[in-house]
Amino acid sequence: MMRQYELVERVLSYDPQANEALLNRAYVYAMKAHKHQERANGDPYFSHPLEVAAILTNLKLDDATITTALLHDVIEDTDATRTEIDQLFGKEIGALVDGLTKIKKLDLVSKKAEQAENFRKLLIAISSDIRVLLVKLADRLHNMRTIEHKREASRKRTCQETLDIYAPLAGRMGMQAIRDELEDHAFRWLHPEAYETVTKKLEQLRANNQRLVEEIRLALEVKLDDVGIEARVMGREKKPYSIWRKMQNKQISLEQLSDIYGFRVLVKNVADCYRVLGVIHTTWRQVPGRFKDYISTPKGNNYQSIHTTVLGPQSQRIELQIRTEEMHEIAEYGVAAHAAYKEMSPVSGLYGSGNGTTKELDQEHGPYAWLRQLVETLLEGANPEEFLEHTKLELFQDQVFCFTPNGRLIALPRNATPIDFAYAVHTDVGNSAQSAYINGRQVPMDTRLRNGDEVRIHTSKSATPPAAWEAIAVTGRARGAIRRAVRDTVRRQYSELGRRLIKAEVEKAGFEYSEKVLIDALPRLGAGPKGLDDVLASVARNELPATDVVKAAFPDADLKLPLQTYRPKNRHDRGRGQEGWFNLSKVMGLKFRMSGDSSEAGRGGTIPIRGLRSDIPVSFADGGAVPGDRIVGVLTKDHGIRIFQIHSPELMEFEHEKWIDVTWDVDPQNAERFPARVKVQAVNAPGSLAEIAKLIGEADGNIDQVKMVDRNRDFTDMLVEVEVWDLDHLNHILNGLKSKGVVNTAERVFD
């Protein structure tokens, strides 16, 4: 166990101005408070807060944070009180210890409703001061290092909580080293067989590839030394949990992974980063589509680095990260590497006046901004379970960076859509969004955004978000706002219907309709806190008889006549000319059925599609569509009903008013294949095409045609017409292709 003077010396080694007396006082106080307590393994309990403090000294944190680490369990586990801590160590440390005490009481893997509320409390606790989270992560890390001494049920619970909550939190704070270790411990105990299999495979690969890795590292060092760049080159290996998760997501074996090994090049300054990039790209061929510059556009947690992949010695694919030593420290330790971490406050949106004035710590793009946004969502009063669902999703998401037309940078989770973009700009923009343009071209609202896209949102004061958007949106901010907007819209519609019903009845009774009279009558209805709009909506939903409202407002009203019930005209019975609604059941000779939201006027209903049947021919546009795709039909003069996948460029040639929503109705007893088009960029090497064809065949896909569209010295682009059972089957083939060493990229295309 670390001695008192050793801890103080550690802190003074990186912070000579640290309060030595404060540290000594906290050490003695915590040791006495825990003196009769033991951990599950029999060690003195004080060894735990001491180890937590030691972890934080490795991050070079301030004396207040180290003091908090020493004291973090005293209020919960001893006779110490918050008042006593405030008196002995000051209110700042008292608040930090109190925040950690509250977190310790939370059960983050309880049943969903309780878990949601506890997660809200967790974010509230850490949002007031980032140091609460830093101490909590160190506390969890030490507990995971010694978790073998816990009972099995408790161990499993703690590991699941670590994977679900604390490891992602560490990742979002940029503390990659801590995240990796947390995940490694949790993986080991939650999935012991998988952990053992992956680690053994890694040991074998390490033994087989050690010479090659060292050769590549030395080749890089020699190249950089030849041009006078001083650099450190390090080989790196993916962690077991990261490998296992990728294997699970892509449904591939470990041998099929091509990025288990990579290299980091550390230099002195930013200029050298780009010099290194130039040397590497002029020495070896860069793999297209595998370049990202996070120096000019840092990630939301302030991560900076250049990522590139090249074909190195022996045509081996080499992944490289190029960064400065300072960037590397931030990449490993995240927000803890910032001198101003203790001055950040996401709730207020303000920073202290010390060193926290640099661009990376600004309010909008700082490493703490994501947490502030979550707290803002929390304070909007969203349903706790929705909040938990959306927040846990966002914790795991990587980012894409897009721009508004005036150059404002918007960071969004991977797979975000223009819907998410609109709500990220402002809730009012999302609620009034009507159409989207990416890089000047109009696109469907469910298009996936890519890094560097310029997105322009066209709005309309009369627009309201369709309910279907909630399933398309990725961010919790967008989903929550859409859900609220849809509820408000439905409520307004019901209120207006109720108003018309009551007004008609009032006028029948010979009175003049007056909302003031209705408002005055609310207490007689026993409406409680409900307002007039709520009462009107209740009438429209048949929850409250309209006669009761009229009688309460006009006690002398004669209500002998039956109240006429308003019935909206059935959409099936509507019939207009060619440009508007028409009866699809007559046109297609098929059973007509409704599905989903009806807010998009002019779209009609949905028709089941199964093969080519009915009097009007049904055919697929170029590029095809497969069950699982969202599809749209267009009635054309030459092709009858033409079916388009929603992302098909051809679909954009038709006005939205001519689109017909259609849905799949595939008979599982008589399955059939559907066409899809895949673009593959393959390395020019003997047997590449054979490997690709073999993989598609083994995956039960059927190749209809292969066309070479572009060829250079290193790569060949080819279009593969493939027939598959459904979208899952197609994605399985795409993931398999991407895992092949001879394949650089594989993606679905529609033109």
pLDDT, one tens digit per residue, over 24-60 is 999 999 999 998 888 888 889 999 999 999 999 988 8
Whether 275 maps to a domain, the answer reads yes
Residue at 134: amino acid letter: L
Per the structure, the count of domains in the chain is 6
Q: Is-contact 478 487, C-beta < 8 A?
A: no
Whether 625 shows a pLDDT value over 70: the answer reads yes
pLDDT band at 604 (very low <50, low <70, confident <90, very high): very low
DSSP state letters, 11-70? HHHH-TTS-HHHHHHHHHHHHHHTTT-B-TTSSBTTHHHHHHHHHHHHTT--HHHHHHHH
Range of the domain at 46: 4-105+129-190
Which segment of 13-17, 489-493, 533-537 scores lowest on mean pLDDT? 489-493
**179-193, 454-468, 599-613, 726-740: least confident range:** 599-613
Answer for the pair 714, 684: CB distance below 8 angstroms, yes or no. yes
Question: Are residue 470 and residue 489 in the same domain, yes or no?
Answer: no
Q: Which helix (H) or strand (E) holds 195?
A: helix 192-226
Selection from 64, 58, 76, 51 nearest residue 25 by Cα: 64
Kindly report, residue by residue over 176-222, the tens digit of the pLDDT.
889 999 999 999 999 898 888 888 888 887 777 777 788 888 888 88
**What angle, 0 to 180 degrees and rounded to 10, lies between the N-to-C axes of helices 546-553 and 476-508?**
60
SS3 398: coil
Q: Does 175 lie in the same domain as 75?
A: yes
* Predicted confidence (pLDDT) at residue 256 exceeds the cutoff of 50: yes
Taking 90 as the threshold, does the pLDDT of residue 88 lie above it? Answer: yes
Q: What is the dihedral of CA 524, 527, 532, 535, to 10 degrees?
A: -110
Look-up of token digits 């006549």: 561
- Which of 621, 650, 629, 652 is CA-nearest to residue 731? 629
Report strand pairing: 232-237 vs 261-267.
Answer: antiparallel
Question: In terms of domains, do 321 and 408 share one?
Answer: no
For 467, phi and psi rounded to 5 degrees?
-60, -30
CATH number for position 686? 3.30.70.260
Q: Is 667 annotated as catalytic?
A: no
For residues 57 and 136, membership in a common domain is answered with yes
Looking at the structure, do residues 678 and 665 belong to the same domain, yes or no?
no
Q: Tell whether 377 and 321 lie within a shared domain.
A: no
The string of pLDDT tens digits covering residues 474-514 is 887 888 888 888 888 777 777 877 788 888 888 888 888 88
In degrees, rounded to 5, the angle at the alpha carbon of residue 38 between the alpha carbons of residues 35 and 43 is 105
Are 500 and 393 found together in one domain?
no
Buried residues in 135-144 as b, exposed as e (16+ CB within 10 A): bbbbbbbbbb
Give buried/exposed letters for 644-662 (b at 16+ CB in 10 A, else e): bbbbbeebeeeeeeebbbb
Shared domain check, 161 and 179: yes
Task: Tell me if 350 is assigned to some domain.
Answer: no
In whole angstroms, give the CA distance from residue 162 to residue 108: 10
Q: What DSSP character marks residue 487?
A: H
The answer to whether residues 545 and 621 belong to one domain is: no
Catalytic: 579? no
Burial 674-685, CB ≥16 within 10 A → b, else e: bbbbbbbbbbee
Q: Which single residue is written with the structure tokens 């909590």?
A: 136
Q: List beta partners, residue 660.
A: 633
**Which CATH number covers residue 45?**
1.10.3210.10
Q: Answer whether residue 740 is part of any domain.
A: yes
Residue 324's CATH number = 3.30.460.10
Q: Which H helix or E strand runs over 708?
A: strand 702-711
Q: Residue 346 domain-assigned?
A: no
Pick from 450, 478, 506: which residue ends a domain? 478
- CB count within 10 Å of CB 437 equals 15
- 633 with 680, same domain: the answer is no
pTM for this structure? 0.54
Is 735 among the domain residues?
A: yes
Look at residue 28 in the predicted model and tell me its pLDDT. 94
CA dihedral (731, 736, 741, 745) in degrees, to 10, reads: -10
pLDDT at 568: 34
List, in sequence order, the alpha helices (H) in 228-354: 240-250, 270-283, 325-333
* Residue 206, phi-psi category: left (phi > 0), alpha (psi -120 to 50), beta (remainder): alpha
**Residues 418/445, Cβ–Cβ less than 8 Å:** yes
User: Is 702 inside any structural domain?
Assistant: yes
Among 461, 478, 495, the domain-final residue is 478
Of 670, 690, 714, which closes a domain? 670
**Is 469 inside a domain boundary?**
yes
Among 352-361, 519-528, 548-557, which stretch is predicted with the lowest mean pLDDT? 352-361
C-alpha closest to that of 594 among 585, 604, 605: 605
Q: In whole angstroms, give the CA distance from residue 466 to residue 596.
A: 10
Do 37 and 93 have their domain in common?
Answer: yes
Same domain? For 532 and 395 the reply is no
Question: Could you tell me the two tokens for 299?
Answer: 């990630």
Catalytic residue among 15, 20, 43, 77: 77
**Does some domain include residue 348?**
no
Residues 43, 76, 84, 496: which is the catalytic one?
76
pLDDT the model gives residue 71: 93
